[in-house]
């Protein structure tokens, strides 16, 4: 089966299984999404949303965060883990946005990648959900599942992103990530995946090896 055909079958099956697959980080602006995405590293979306509810009630704009004391922000985001580096990255990014981008989160990939703590994953989240510029976000779920499915044979996130862009229809780039994340949480877990219950097990190289 051609990879393009396989991907379409996978997307079709997962869209039926997870019709509400979407971004789970609560936000009301590109900057809030930037902050939430930085906080989401090694942390659940549920925990991030609890933290940002209190955080965004007090601070909303890049100017607000640029003027924050590092220790103050650290206290508010402590429960997300890696709070020292996250606080530093958020405040430094806020200052750069204020000084170089007139207080507006940049809408170009190259500019976003200049912000501390922002890699291609975070940049693609922001471009896709704030600026309607579709991208494929490669997180741990996407790395694990695309390898198991046999769509890629690498753990390098950037290589996976570019390879998926060649076989996933562009109008499905954004939802593809959310479908795989939902699938990874329910069925294709890191340990002890539920292959017998998986709605796409017939399309999975990993499952076929188990038979």
pLDDT tens per residue, range 74-100? 999 999 999 999 999 999 999 999 999
Average pLDDT, the chain: 97
Distance CA 187, CA 162 (A): 25
Residues 16 and 82 both lie in one domain: no
Are the CB atoms for 5 and 168 separated by under 8 Å?
no
Distance CA 159, CA 162 (A): 5
Q: What is the pLDDT of residues 108-119, one digit of tens each?
A: 999 999 999 999
C-alpha distances (whole Å) from 123 to each of 104, 135, 188 are: 14, 9, 25
Residue 70 confidence (pLDDT)? 97
Residues 124 and 152 both lie in one domain: no
CA 137 to chain CA mean position, Å? 5
Residues 46 and 125 both lie in one domain: yes
Residues 141 and 123 both lie in one domain: no
CA 175 to chain CA mean position, Å? 11
Please check the confidence at residue 211 and state whether its pLDDT lies above 90.
Answer: no
Residue 52 lies in domain: 30-130
Are the CB atoms for 65 and 55 separated by under 8 Å?
no
Helix axes 173-186, 140-149, angle to 10 degrees: 90
pLDDT category of residue 191 using cuts at 50, 70 and 90:
very high
Q: What is the pLDDT of residues 65-80, one digit of tens each?
A: 999 999 999 999 999 9
Are the CB atoms for 85 and 60 separated by under 8 Å?
no
Residues 115 and 188 both lie in one domain: no
CA-based nearest residue to 32, from 52, 51, 58? 52
Q: State the catalytic residue, choosing from 8, 60, 133, 139.
A: 139
Residues 34 and 9 both lie in one domain: no
Residues 156 and 103 both lie in one domain: no
3-state secondary structure of 71: helix
Distance CA 78, CA 113 (A): 25
CATH number of the domain encompassing residue 95 = 1.10.340.30
Please check the confidence at residue 209 and state whether its pLDDT lies above 90.
Answer: no
Distance CA 51, CA 72 (A): 13
Residues 180 and 144 both lie in one domain: yes
Distance CA 170, CA 177 (A): 12
Last residue of a domain, one of 76, 105, 130: 130
3-state secondary structure of 182: helix
Last residue of a domain, one of 130, 156, 190: 130
Q: Is 139 annotated as catalytic?
A: yes
Q: What percent of the chain has pLDDT over 90?
A: 98
Number of domains the chain is built from: 2
Residues 8 and 82 both lie in one domain: no
Residues 125 and 40 both lie in one domain: yes
> Under 8 Å CB-to-CB from 19, ≥6 apart: which residues?
none
CATH number of the domain encompassing residue 170 = 1.10.1670.10
Last residue of a domain, one of 130, 147, 171: 130
Are the CB atoms for 202 and 149 separated by under 8 Å?
no
Residue 210 confidence (pLDDT)? 79
Q: What is the pLDDT of residues 138-189, one digit of tens each?
A: 999 999 999 999 999 999 999 999 999 999 999 999 999 999 999 999 999 9
Residues 100 and 142 both lie in one domain: no
Residues 104 and 72 both lie in one domain: yes
Give pTM, 2 decimals.
0.94
Q: State the catalytic residue, choosing from 121, 133, 170, 209.
A: 121
């Amino acid at each position: 089966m051609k990879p393009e055909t396989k991907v379409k079958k996978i997307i079709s099956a997962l869209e039926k299984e997870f019709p509400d697959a979407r971004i789970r980080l609560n936000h009301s602006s590109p900057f809030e999404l930037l902050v939430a995405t930085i906080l989401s590293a090694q942390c659940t979306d549920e925990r991030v949303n609890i933290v940002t509810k209190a955080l965004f009630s007090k601070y909303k704009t890049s100017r607000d965060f640029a003027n924050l004391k590092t220790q103050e922000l650290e206290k508010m985001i402590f429960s997300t883990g890696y709070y020292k580096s996250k606080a530093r990255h958020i405040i430094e990014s806020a200052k750069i946005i204020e000084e170089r981008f007139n207080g507006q989160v940049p809408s170009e990939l190259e500019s976003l990648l200049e912000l501390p703590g922002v890699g291609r994953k975070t940049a693609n989240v922001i471009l896709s959900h704030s600026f309607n510029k579709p991208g494929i976000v490669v997180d741990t779920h996407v790395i694990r599942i695309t390898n198991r499915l046999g769509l890629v044979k690498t753990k390098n996130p950037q290589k996976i992103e570019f390879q998926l862009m060649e076989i996933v229809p562009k109008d499905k780039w954004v939802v593809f990530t959310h479908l795989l994340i939902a699938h990874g949480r329910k069925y294709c877990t890191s340990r002890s995946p539920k292959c017998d219950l998986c709605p796409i097990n017939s399309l999975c190289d990993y499952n076929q090896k188990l038979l």
